A and B are shown apart, each in its own frame.
Chain A
Amino acid sequence: MSKKIVYAIVLLAAVVAPFVGYPVFLMKLLCFGLFACAFNLLIGYAGLLSFGHAAFFGGAGYVSGYVLTTLGLPFELGILLGVLAAALLGLVMGALAIRRQGIYFAMITLALAQMVYFSALRAPFTHGEDGLQGIPRGRLLGTLDLGSDLTLYYVVLAVSAAGFALIVRTIHSPFGQVLSAIKENEPRAISLGYDVDRYKLLAFVLSAALAGLAGALKAVVLGFETLTDVHWTMSGLVILMTLVGGMGTLAGPILGAFLVVALENKLGDLGNFLAGATHVEWFASLGESVGIVTGLIFVACVLLFRRGIVGELAHAYSRRRA
């Protein structure tokens, strides 16, 4: 009963949000939320730490950006091609990385992502450091003009909600159960006769595709795509989002993404606000310290809040009930 009310509240908030806040910022939140959820599918439910997810996020953004700008394809096709590109990349990277475990797996994903980064740096169509600019929004299905921030917001909301729903369905499906089993105890899963590598690869590709969806959407929303999205610090950022929110929880990564993105964008505003309110001039320079604050949160989470915000809350709630 209460779950339905919660869903209703969330839906209402999401529908009303663009009238209260800045639509472009909200869309950015949604895209990163989807990205973090896609990453969480891999780490939280399959137990695989990928240090190269930026390759899918930025790679899809570049592919979509290119086909929308230079080839003039319609919006849906552009996004679809981006997702397919990410899935393909995920297949290749996954096939190479799955053979190893733990830290070696992470290192291979990192190395392969670096190769994607350098391809993005060198390929003429990405314009290297200058980035791919002027990505058009076009029309949805040839009819709905996406130029208005409001219209685009609802489209992005619908797509990311669909992506999130897909993740939820996957986790609760038999496939998801096997993944949990593999994460829990791989040798046992193998002894039960499951082709462990195939499951891991499938999870990897799915995670990559959804990360690509997030990246492609973001490219259209902001109208550009730059190297920042394929750099390894972006891979680190999505790990942070998932860690802060709670690995292995459903809503955790979304919250983590919202917090981290809000932090990056609004720390300066918060600092100015605090400086004005308290007349302490030092607060005004807070905007420059995004890296420090992010680092502090990272360290605090690893040391103290390993389950992340949602994880810790869920743990505390279940302990109280027990």
Chain B
Amino acid sequence: MNITAIALAASAALSLPAQAQVSGDTIKIGMITDLSGVYADVDGNGGAEAVRMAIADMGGAINGKKIEFVVADHQNKPDIAASRAREWFDQQGVDMLIGGTNSGASLAMAKVAREKKKVFIAIGSGTAQLTNEQCSPYTVHYAYDTVALARGTGATMVKQGGKSWYFLTADYAFGQSLEKDTTDVVKANGGSVLGSVRHPLSASDFSSFLLQAQGAKAQVLGLANAGGDFINAVKAANEFGLTKKIKVAGLLVFINDIHTLGLNTTQGLYLTDGWYWDQNDASRAWAKRYFAKMKKQPSMLQAADYSAATNYLNAVKTLGSDDADKVMAQLKKTRINDMFTKNGEIRPDGRMVYDMYLMQVKTPKESKGAWDYYKVVATIPGTQAYTTKAETKCVLWK
């Protein structure tokens, strides 16, 4: 029984180093994302680096108060994300949390941020629930969401003749949201959905799922997944000769995926994106700085990490305070005009609305070199891409 006493004392001692001072003199930004799994490439360490660039560009301090940054890996597990967020808010004095990829993790973090009354900016994750059914006065959803993807890629494919759809869906919040939103768009445009098959996140073998899809005999195979899962699904579809019989629709595709798969496999693919490194001078200039550090071109998420961090810090600077309520109000009344977008604004429901692009992947002949992969087919105005006031279920925006 002596041991128990020692054990208890030891455990108390072990929990001591975590007891940091509550922030009052520093502005602490935290980022929890997938650093080592299926989504590591499209956000991950590159995204963290982008935030560091934003902090450095601010001079590392605002009005003499130092800006600090902490990163953590949630390994695509919502419990790790939620626990870490809670601990950071309680013990480490984090003022603003950036949510990386994985919608399940982001929904969990948004709940914690709401409870602790701290600013939460979801960038990497896609589920539109963040600003709809689960909207919160402390959540900002930056970069993109599943509704915009559906209204971009989904509508285009249907209008081009892809009337019957079958979905291959990642079985968690993101995949389910994307499947639901795309189904709504397909039906609204006169198409039909023949069925869907769910696969676990980071599935190792897509063959059995694709064979089920093949059996349905649809015109379009909607891939409601992303990152490594998207890459593996496309590879398997090629391997089993599916691409000859059915049109593959990548509902969330990043430039890193195209880089891995190559133009031969992906040419002609339609995708909805919010930012492309080659879209204008400002984006090219920033991308060049990013490339110098990371040796790859940034994705929409990594650019959004930089932009969101910068705009947050600017709001703090203008207000002279990092109080969550004041900052949220400031963010919602400031236009966003930077290397990310020229006409972004944050609505009352937390959704950052800006023009999205419908892109098509170039053929190997059209591309002039590595990372020159996209051509802009159409611009989708923000008001059309995202959920409208009439459609929303968010109580903050009625």
Contacts and interface: CB of A to CB of B under 8 A. Distances in A.
Interface of A: 3, 6-7, 9-10, 13-14, 16-17, 20-22, 24-26, 29, 127-131, 133-134, 149, 222-224, 226, 228, 250-252, 254-255, 258-259, 262, 266, 269-270, 273, 288, 309-310, 313
B77 A226 contact: yes
Given A6-B1, A251-B1, A129 B79 contact: no
Nearest to A3: B1
Interface in B1-44: 1-5, 7-12, 14-19
A288 B35 CA distance: 11
A22 B18 contact: yes
A13 B4 CA distance: 10
B interface SS class = helix
A22 B90 contact: yes
A10 B8 CA distance: 7
B7 A251 contact: yes
Contact of B8 (A13, A25, A127, A131): A13
Interface residues of B, number: 39
29 contacts: A6-B5, A9-B5, A10-B1, A13-B9, A21-B16, A22-B18, A26-B11, A26-B15, A127-B173, A128-B172, A129-B171, A129-B173, A130-B78, A130-B103, A130-B108, A130-B172, A133-B107, A223-B112, A224-B82, A252-B3, A259-B7, A262-B10, A262-B11, A266-B18, A269-B17, A269-B18, A270-B17, A273-B17, A313-B3
Interface string B45-85: 00000000000000000000000000001000111001100
Contacts of A262: 10-11, 14-15
Contacts of B8: 10, 13-14, 17, 258
Residue from A131, A226, A252, A262 having most chain B Cβ neighbours under 10 A? A131
B288 interface: no
Given A9-B5, A269-B18, A131 B104 contact: yes
Contacts of B3: 251-252, 255, 309-310, 313
A262 B12 CA distance: 10
Interface string B206-250: 000000000000000000000000000000000000000000000
B86 interface: yes
A249 to B, nearest CB: 9
Nearest 6 Cβ contacts at the A-B interface: A21-B15, A130-B104, A129-B172, A226-B79, A255-B7, A251-B4
A22 B79 contact: no
A222 B79 contact: yes
B87 interface: yes
A30 B95 CA distance: 29
Contacts of B82: 133, 222-224
B380 interface: no
B324 interface: no
Contacts of B87: 22, 24-25
Nearest to B15: A21
B376 interface: no
B12 to A, nearest CB: 5
Contacts of A127: 173
A127 B108 CA distance: 12
Residue from B12, B79, B87 having most chain A Cβ neighbours under 10 A? B12
Given A130-B107, A223-B115, 20 more contacts: A9-B5, A10-B8, A13-B5, A17-B11, A22-B15, A25-B15, A26-B15, A129-B104, A130-B78, A131-B104, A133-B78, A222-B83, A226-B77, A226-B79, A255-B3, A258-B8, A258-B10, A266-B15, A273-B17, A310-B3
A7 B104 CA distance: 44
A117 to B, nearest CB: 12
Residue from A134, A228, A288 having most chain B Cβ neighbours under 10 A? A134
Interface string B105-122: 001100110010000000
Contacts of A226: 77-79
A172 B91 CA distance: 42
A69 to B, nearest CB: 11
